[in-house]
Amino acid sequence: MFHRKTITASLEASTPVFFGYISIGMVFGFLLVKEGFNWLLAPIMSITIFAGAAQYLAIDLISNNIPLLEIGLTILLLNARHIVYGLSLLDRFKAPSRHKGYLIFGLTDETYGLLTTIKPPKGTKPEYFDLWITLLNQSYWVIGSIIGAIIGNIIPVEIEGLDFALTALFIVLTIEQIKQIKRFEPFLYPVVIFALLSIIGAGSYLLILTIVLSSISMIFIKEKR
Amino acid sequence: MKILLAIIVMIIATQITRFLPFIIFKKKEPSETLKTVSKFIPGAVMITLVLISIPINMDISSNYKIWLGSIIVIVLHLTFNKPLISILGGTGLYCLINYIL
């Protein structure tokens, strides 16, 4: 596990997530404390739930006293995109290993983005490369949320625009996917579906509906031989 | 106590979505169609996450800043091809745009 080249490579590969997670983790911790919650909940949630969007939503759900069943269903729908992630990683996580469960547990949008975009570089141990990426990403997320919670406890500051790091990260990952797939359909279809759903007014189901319908639409893309 | 229960519910809901495909396809192989589709899905999901994180509005004047920031990220990435430069530079300039305009 402590193979130097593998650790260096995963540190390098995960740097963009470092900046993304530290900043959006900070915003999460900050908002949580500002809503009146104990700062310890920030690291507790980041360690046990480890799902960015869900944790942001959680602040809202808990502070509005939403019933548990409704909380569960909402989070399930919001995170349903993970099912799709798992499907495309079946092969990559095929080899049985002791840390396989953790790799699945830590499959966030960003970890998934890194794992599907970046191949383990030559000279590294692939099975530990994935583990380090996941471990590092979660530690950035936990550290970010702790820093945010502490800042929120001490000083009243405004973070204007810092959360753009998340959009920037997704843009970069999309460009990398375009370079790798070299097809336009997987990117065009979601845009069309997203636009149509926005016009119809899908509201809070926009994310989940776009992901589900886009995934289905991929069936109509013929593979080049 | 109620908060802790809510957190447990969220842990379960989140992990169901992550473990489900690995449990279903533990023994049997997914079909060829499913395999092909899953190759295209990451890109489709990434562009969807971009679209979702950009508040699209018919009124361009209200969110031109985020468009400007996005273009900066794209240009930076196509020029330097270093994720770190694209994300840090893009976010820094976006904050600057927010501060100045």
A204 contact B CB<8A: no
Of the residues A167, A220, A223, the best mutation for testing chain B's interface (the one with the most B CB atoms within 10 Å of its CB) is A167
Q: Residue A14 in contact with residue A114, Cβ under 8 Å?
A: yes
The alpha carbon of residue A167 is apart from the nearest alpha carbon of chain B, in Å, by: 6
**Under 8 Å CB-to-CB from A19, ≥6 apart: which residues?**
A165, B84, B87, B88, B91
Does residue B57 have a pLDDT over 60? no
Confidence (pLDDT) at B19 = 95
Hunting for tokens 């969220």 — which residue is that?
B10
Does residue A47 have a pLDDT over 90? yes
Confidence (pLDDT) at A88 = 82
Does residue B37 have a pLDDT over 90? no
How many alpha carbons lie under 13 Å from residue A117 in its C-beta half-sphere? 27
Q: pLDDT digit string (tens) for A161-179? A: 666 777 887 898 899 889 9
Distance, CA of A155 to CA of A191 (rounded, Å): 41
Find, in chain B, the residue whose alpha carbon is nearest to that of A216: B37
Give the nearest partner residue to B18 out of A61, A62, A86, using CB atoms. A86
Cα–Cα distances in angstroms (integers) from residue B91 to residues A12, A60, B65, B67, in the given order: 19, 26, 11, 12
Check residue A39 and report its DSSP letter. Answer: T
3-state secondary structure A19-30: HHHHHHHHHHHH
Distance, CA of B80 to CA of B96 (rounded, Å): 21
Q: pLDDT digit string (tens) for B72-92? A: 999 999 999 877 788 889 988
Which SS3 state, helix, strand or coil, does residue A38 take?
A: coil
Give the nearest partner residue to A16 out of B16, B30, B87, using CB atoms. B87
Q: pLDDT digit string (tens) for A73-129? A: 888 877 877 888 888 888 888 888 889 999 999 999 889 988 888 888 888 888 899
Give me the total of CB pairs closer than 8 Å, taking one residue from chain A and one from chain B.
Answer: 232
Confidence (pLDDT) at A160 = 67
Mean pLDDT of A7-31: 88
What mean pLDDT, rounded, does chain B reach?
85
Percent of chain A with pLDDT over 90: 35
Distance, CA of A75 to CA of A49 (rounded, Å): 11
What mean pLDDT, rounded, does chain A reach?
86
Residues in chain B: 101
Does residue A206 have a pLDDT over 90? no
B55 contact A CB<8A: no
- How many CB atoms neighbour CB A11 within 10 A? 13
Confidence (pLDDT) at A209 = 84
Res. A159 pLDDT band, cuts 50 70 90 = low
Give the nearest partner residue to A165 out of B9, B36, B87, using CB atoms. B87
